[in-house]
Structure 1
Amino acid sequence: MSLRHRPWEQAADFQIGLRPIPLEAWLEGAETDPAARKDALWAADRGLVWAETEGSRPGQEEVAALVTTALGPAAAPGPAPPDLPPLYAAARRVPDDLCLMEKAADGQWRLTALSLSAGSFFTAREVIGRSLGELHGPVSGFAERFLVRVQRIFEGLRPELVLERRNWTVLNSDALHTPSSAPIRARIGAIDPAEAGRVLNLRVERQTLRRLPRTGGALFTIRVWLAPLGALAGEPARLAAFAEAWRSATPGLRAYKRFDLYDDLVESFLADPKPAGP
C-alpha cells in the first residue's frame, strides 16, 4: 500500500504521541511537483490555503531558510507567482503544509502564518491567529487532558530537535484538499457497500514540530498520505490491526472523527475485504 504510516496500529484514542526523530528525517518528500498543486489552489482561492498576520515575516523567513538547508538550493521548483510570502515560497518546495506558531503578547502560542493545501475540514482564513487551545477545540477533552502538556512541549522545544506524530481517519474522498466536510459527507449515502474498499480512503497525517532558533517560534508541518481502504485487503495483519482500531476506538475519538457515518460501510468491507481495484 502507498501509505508510509499506520497510526491505527498504535492507539484507539486521541494521543499527543510526539516522539523525537533524526533531523535528517524531518521532511519525507515523495511528491514530484508540489508547487504545481499548491499554486493552482493559491490562484483559485487564496484565503482557503494561505493566511498571515502582521509581524510574522521574520519567522517566515527563518522557515524558508530551514527548508533550504534541508533540501538545498538546487531543489527549488519552477517559476513562481510574483511577490510570494517567504513561508509560501518554502511550502511550494515540499508536499507538507507549513504552519508557523509564535508566542503572542498574551502569552499564548498562536498561528501567525500558514500554507494549507491539504487541510482536513478547515481553511487558512478560519484558523489564522488562533491559540493552541482554540485550534484543538474540536478534539474531545483536549483542553482538560492535553492542553497544558502541549503548551509545555512548545515552551521546552530545543533547536535541532524534531518531534513527530501521526493521525488518521477514514474519508470518502481521495482529494488532498478537503476544506469542507459538507460536500464529502453528503455523498456517503450513495456509496454501494460492495464498493467501500474502493471508495473509502485511509487518510493519514504525518506531523512534525521543531523550534525556530533565531526568532523563537515553532514550525508545525502536516504531510497527508492517502490510500484506498481496499489496499489492506491483501495484508491480513494490517487489516486485522485496522479492524481492531476501528472497533475499539474510544467514544471521544469516534465522535471527533465521525466514524459513525462510515460504520456500515467499513463493516461491509471488513466482512468481505476486496482489493481497491481500478
Structure 2
Amino acid sequence: MTLGFSVETLVPRARGSGSLRMGLTRLAERDWLQPDFDRAVRADAFDRRSDSVAMLPEGEAPGREAAAMIGTGGTLGDAARGVWEDLCVLTPGADGRYRLVGGAVAFPTDWRLSDKLGLALTDVHAPIHGYAEQLAAGVDHFMATLTPGMIFGRANWFVVPDPAPRWMPEGDPATRFAHVDADNAGETLFVRCERQTLRRLPETGAVLFTIGIHVAPLAALSDAVVARVGDAVATIGAGEHERRAAPHYAAALARYAARRQTRPEIAA
C-alpha cells in the first residue's frame, strides 16, 4: 500500500473525527520519502532560521545514521536539506519511554522544536486532546516493538488560511479567518497534510520520524475530499475543535462543501 504525496491522496488515509488512532500503513522503501521537491524552498527555510535544527548529545549518533541511510551523509541537519521531509530522532530513556532527542524541522505545524526537545512522546503530544487517554499506550508499544527494515506511514490534516509550508500562527484565530466565507472558501481555506513515517535505525536503535508537508486549497481538491474534510470538522471533539480554530471557519467550510455537492463547477 502507499499513502501518496498529495493532499488528495493523504486525506482519505487520515483520521477524520472520533477516537484517536495511529492509522498506520506499511510502506515499501520506494514509497518512503518524496522523490521530487523544491530544493531551493527547502534550503531557504533552513537558512532563514537557525533554530530549525537542535540536537541533544544522545541524538548525534542517530542523526548521523539517519543521514547515511537517506544517502546524504553528515548530520541530521544536512540530511533534512536533502529531502522534503522534516526529520526527528527518538530514543528510549531510562524509563523506556521514547524521547525526542534531535530534530531538523523547517516546516513545523504550530510547534517549536526547542519546546519539545528532550520530552517523552506523551509530553510532546500534550496539546492534542485525548492523546494521553486514547493513544499514548498504543504509540509507546509500537515504538518499543518496531523492527528494523519496516517502514510505517500515517497522515493527519489541518485546515488553515495560509498555503506556506511553515505554519506558526500568531494572534487571535478569529482574525486569521475573518476574511473567509462560503463564497471564497475554495481559495482562502487550505488543507495542510502531514505525511508522517516511522522506521527504526538498525545500528543505534533509535526511531526516525519524518514529517512531509503537503498543502492544497479546497478548490483544488475533489468533491469527495472536500466533503470528508467538512464532515470531520463538523464532528470533531470539542477540545480539538477549539485547538484547530474550527469555530472560526467551520460554518463557511460546511456551506462551501454543500455547494460543491450540487454545483461542482464552482471548484473549476
- Contact between 2:15 and 2:21, CA under 8 Å: does it hold in 1? no
Could you report, residue by residue, the CA deviation over 1:59-87 in whole angstroms, capped at 9, with x for unpaired residues?
Answer: 1111011101xxxx6xx9xxxxxxxx600
1:6 corresponds to 2:11: yes
Aligned in 2, Cα 1:126/1:194: closer, same or farther, shift over 3 Å? same
Choose from 158, 161, 167 the match for 2:150: 161
Choose from 33, 37, 45 the match for 1:31: 37
2:176 equivalent in structure 1: 187
TM-score (norm 2): 0.86
1:17 equivalent in structure 2: 23
1:40 corresponds to 2:44: yes
Q: Which runs of 5+ in 1 are unaligned?
A: 77-84
Partners in 1 of 2:95 and 2:174 — Cα distance? 38
Code of the residue aligned with 2:32 in structure 1: it is W
1:198 equivalent in structure 2: 187
1:80 equivalent in structure 2: none
Could you report, residue by residue, the CA deviation over 1:212-251 in whole angstroms, capped at 9, with x for unpaired residues?
Answer: 110010000001111101223xx33333333333333333
2:94 equivalent in structure 1: 105
3-state SS, counterpart of residue 6 of structure 1: helix
Per the TM alignment, residue 22 of structure 1 is displaced from its structure 2 partner at its CA by 1.6
Code of the residue aligned with 1:93 in structure 2: it is G
Per the TM alignment, residue 129 of structure 1 is displaced from its structure 2 partner at its CA by 1.1
- Contact between 1:9 and 1:245, CA under 8 Å: does it hold in 2? no
- Contact between 1:111 and 1:127, CA under 8 Å: does it hold in 2? yes
1:212 equivalent in structure 2: 201
Partners in 1 of 2:181 and 2:249 — Cα distance? 12
Q: Kindly, what percent of the aligned residue pairs are identical?
A: 28
Aligned in 2, Cα 1:7/1:182: closer, same or farther, shift over 3 Å? farther
2:116 equivalent in structure 1: 127
Could you report, residue by residue, the CA deviation over 1:94-119 in whole angstroms, capped at 9, with x for unpaired residues?
Answer: 11010111112343211111111111
Code of the residue aligned with 2:37 in structure 1: it is E
Partners in 2 of 1:158 and 1:185 — Cα distance? 45
- Contact between 2:67 and 2:75, CA under 8 Å: does it hold in 1? yes
3-state SS, counterpart of residue 223 of structure 1: strand
Partners in 1 of 2:106 and 2:267 — Cα distance? 26
Partners in 2 of 1:254 and 1:8 — Cα distance? 20
Choose from 56, 59, 67 the match for 2:59: 56
- Contact between 1:8 and 1:241, CA under 8 Å: does it hold in 2? no
3-state SS, counterpart of residue 112 of structure 1: strand
Code of the residue aligned with 1:201 in structure 2: it is F
- Contact between 2:27 and 2:153, CA under 8 Å: does it hold in 1? yes
Per the TM alignment, residue 181 of structure 1 is displaced from its structure 2 partner at its CA by 4.2
- Aligned pairs, how many? 258
1:115 equivalent in structure 2: 104
Aligned in 2, Cα 1:8/1:202: closer, same or farther, shift over 3 Å? farther
Per the TM alignment, residue 160 of structure 1 is displaced from its structure 2 partner at its CA by 0.5
Per the TM alignment, residue 39 of structure 1 is displaced from its structure 2 partner at its CA by 3.0
Could you report, residue by residue, the CA deviation over 1:112-154 in whole angstroms, capped at 9, with x for unpaired residues?
Answer: 1111111100122121111101111011111111111111101
When the two chains are superposed, the root-mean-square deviation of aligned CA atoms in Å is: 2.4
Partners in 1 of 2:56 and 2:15 — Cα distance? 36
Per the TM alignment, residue 52 of structure 1 is displaced from its structure 2 partner at its CA by 0.8
Between 90-99 and 14-23, report the one with greater CA deviation: 14-23
Could you report, residue by residue, the CA deviation over 1:7-32 in whole angstroms, capped at 9, with x for unpaired residues?
Answer: 37754233211222222211123313
Partners in 2 of 1:99 and 1:64 — Cα distance? 11
Q: Which runs of 5+ in 2 are unaligned?
A: none
Per the TM alignment, residue 190 of structure 1 is displaced from its structure 2 partner at its CA by 3.0
Matches within 5 A, 1:251-266: 251-266=238-253
